[in-house]
Structure 1
Amino acid sequence: MASTVTFTPSGLVSPLKALASSKSSFTGAHSTRGGLTAVVASKARVSCAASEQKSGIEGSGKQIATALALAAVLSTAPLAFPQNASADIAGLTPCKDSKAFAKREEKEIKKLAKRLDKYAPDSAPALAINATIEKTKRRFDFYGSHGLLCGADGLPHLIVDGDQAHLGEFVYPGILFLYIAGWIGWVGRSYLIAIKDSKKPAEKEIIIDVPLASRLAWRGFIWPLAAISELRNGKLIEDAANITVSPR
């Protein structure tokens, strides 16, 4: 009669046959599998909820980005189309459409025409008054054709808020003024530095060295670049040790 051989694999505490016949072990294994199933289901629900939350956040993020892009486009619309911007700025209207502006032009021309009646047509005063009338007409026509805005007094008002439709009223002239003022100051500074080491610097401040001043004036047209270069080299600002301080 063949003997029954019980095979116990390495790593297992009890034989496979005993494990199959053990109800308690089967019940424990079943409960363990149930626990694993519950854990897997719980993880699946958490993963599903997390993915739904992530997709919701991404959707809201896309909506916010779309709203910001739309707001940026709407905010730059007046800059892209400055001619279509509303002319009603602080109660102002285009001079060409202003009744007060037209009335002021008519009043000035009538005043000049009344003076013209006192002189002969070919006299020098009459010619001068006619020239003034033409200048007045050109001035008012210039104000009306260049988009200037007038108030209730009929006078043009300058817009200085950086609107592209009105840059020529203040921004461009302001930049030109700063450039010219800086050029004058830079040339004067360069002249004083150039004569500092001469024999009679005080005399050259009174009696200008014209050839030297002319050369410096031509060089001064690039004063913004020269100022930046000297600032980088440390030559633009004098050291505090070289500045004299009066006693206190």
Structure 2
Amino acid sequence: MSLTIPTNLSKSLLKPKLNSQLTPKVSRSLVVCSTDKTSSPPSSASPLQAFSAALALSSILLSAPQPAVADIAGLTPCKESKQFAKREKQQIKKLESSLKLYAPDSAPALAIKATIEKTKRRFDNYGKYGLLCGSDGLPHLIVSGDQRHWGEFITPGLLFLYIAGWIGWVGRSYLIAISDDKKPAMKEIIIDVPLATGLIFRGFIWPVAAYRELINGDLVVKDV
């Protein structure tokens, strides 16, 4: 009796070992991210450009009309006030009744028509720019320093101070300029127009000129 061992069985048993030994190992690569210290940062805006942009933005915000909000006790936005609308109708009605007394194309009639248009425009601007009205239907100015109401008092007040200071500075400069003249009192009565005109145009920068004289000690006359 003979026993035969198939040769293909031994081959199949060897293949898994050979395959496991010949399987390539996958290498893992490590990626490192780093920033370049030598790279130059993006150029930033100069301080002068930043200041100019901030100044322009603040001017736009201050000049733009703010929405009316009844944040003050006893006051309501004029465009929502019934007393304000009633007062407008009364004024226009009074002007229209006066208009009937004159011929349509006469000078008084034309003047009254122009006054009616100005009255309508004035009341419309009161409501458009967010003014607050009281129970009497009249606009009230808010002078508490609230930024939402700067356009009612702060901005016109600063403009008034600038114009008043400009006029005073020009007058002061004129008196100083004619002080060395032989007859300064005469030039106070009869204005030297060429001299005054030049001082008027130079007076627009009076805040800078006043500060410069303050630093130099020329703003105030020293006590003798």
Q: Check whether TM > 0.5.
A: yes
- 1:123 positional shift: 2.9
Counterpart of 2:205 in structure 1 is 222
Report Cα offsets for 1:13-42 as digits up to 9, x if no partner. Answer: xxxxxxxxxxxxxxxxxxxxxxxxxxxxxx
Residue of structure 1 in register with 2:165 after alignment: 182
Where structure 1 has 5 or more consecutive residues not aligned to the other structure, the ranges are 1-78, 242-248
| Equivalent position to 1:138, from 101, 121, 124 | 121
Task: Judge conservation of contact 2:66–2:130 (CA < 8 Å) in 1.
Answer: no
Partner of 2:221: 238
Distance in 2 (alpha carbons) for counterparts of 1:120 and 1:149: 39
Question: After superposition, what is the alpha-carbon deviation per residue over 1:143-182, rounded to whole angstroms, capped at 9, x for unaligned?
Answer: 0111000001100011111222211111111111111111
Determine the C-alpha separation between the residues in 1 that align with 2:90 and 2:81: 14
CA distance in 1, matches of 2:116, 2:172: 45
Match of 2:89 in 1: 106
CA deviations on 1:69-107 (whole Å, 9 max, x unpaired) are xxxxxxxxxx9xx95784131311000000000000011
Distance 1:124 1:85, change over 3 A: closer
Tell me the distance in 2 between the aligned counterparts of 1:238 and 1:142: 47
Residues 126-205 of structure 1: pairs in structure 2 closer than 5 A: 126-205=109-188
- Contact kept, 8 Å, 2:68 with 2:129, in 1: the verdict is no
**More moved, 157-166 vs 114-123:** 114-123
> Is structure 2 residue 196 aligned with structure 1 residue 213?
yes
- Structure 1 residues 38-57: aligned runs within 5 Å: none
SS of 1:226's equivalent in the other structure is: helix
Give unmatched runs, 5+ long, in structure 2: 1-60
RMSD (Å), alpha carbons: 1.9
Q: Is 1:117 paired with 2:79? A: no
Paired amino acid for 2:216: N
CA distance in 1, matches of 2:217, 2:68: 47
Identify if the C-alpha distance between structure 1 residues 140 and 235 changes in structure 2 by more than 3 Å, giving closer, same or farther: same
| TM-score, structure 2 normalization | 0.67
Structure with the greater relative contact order (CA < 8 A, sep ≥ 6): 1 or 2? 2
Q: 1:238 and 1:138, CA in 2 relative to 1: closer, same or farther beyond 3 A?
A: same
Percent of paired sites with the same residue: 75
Please state which structure has a larger fraction of its residues in helix.
1
Amino acid at match of 1:157: H
TM-score (norm. length: structure 1):
0.61
Amino acid at match of 1:206: I
> Deviation of residue 121 (structure 1)?
2.7
1:200–1:89 CA distance, 2 compared to 1 (3 A): same
Does the C-alpha gap of structure 1 residues 91 and 139 become closer, same or farther in structure 2, counting only changes over 3 Å? same
1:90 equivalent in alignment to 2:90: no
Amino acid at match of 1:144: G
